[in-house]
Amino acid sequence: DVVMSHVKQITKLISVIRKKGIKKTNNLPRVFILINKNNQWSWIMSTEGNHRAYLFYLLGLKKFPVIIEDVIYRESLKFSYNVKNGLYTLKEAENIFDGISKGNFYIRGLI
């Protein structure tokens, strides 16, 4: 059901883009910037604009406007809520962060 819902949304968006072009909006996609221990950055989508970001990629666009929700430094994970409350150990949080920032893990939501 989830896959079919996404297919329908993407199909509809492609149809709208073909008819009207890419519409400017204030409802921009939202991202988190992840900065690893070597100061290299990557990003992960937040909750808004995922379908548009996928479409922009498929349409060959190299840049698109976003709102940066937060910048998360790997070195600050020891202060994160779920490490402090014991849900994750620091090592587990670092492994999750590294997997996401390298593109090895698919995850919905953040640490």
Short-list 71, 66, 64, CA closest to 97:
71
Q: What is the pLDDT of residue 108?
A: 55
**What is the CB-side half-sphere exposure of residue 84 using CA atoms within 13 A?**
6
Q: What is the pLDDT of residue 61?
A: 81
pTM of the model: 0.73
**pLDDT tens by residue, 18-74:** 888 777 777 888 899 999 999 999 988 887 787 778 787 888 888 888 899 999 999
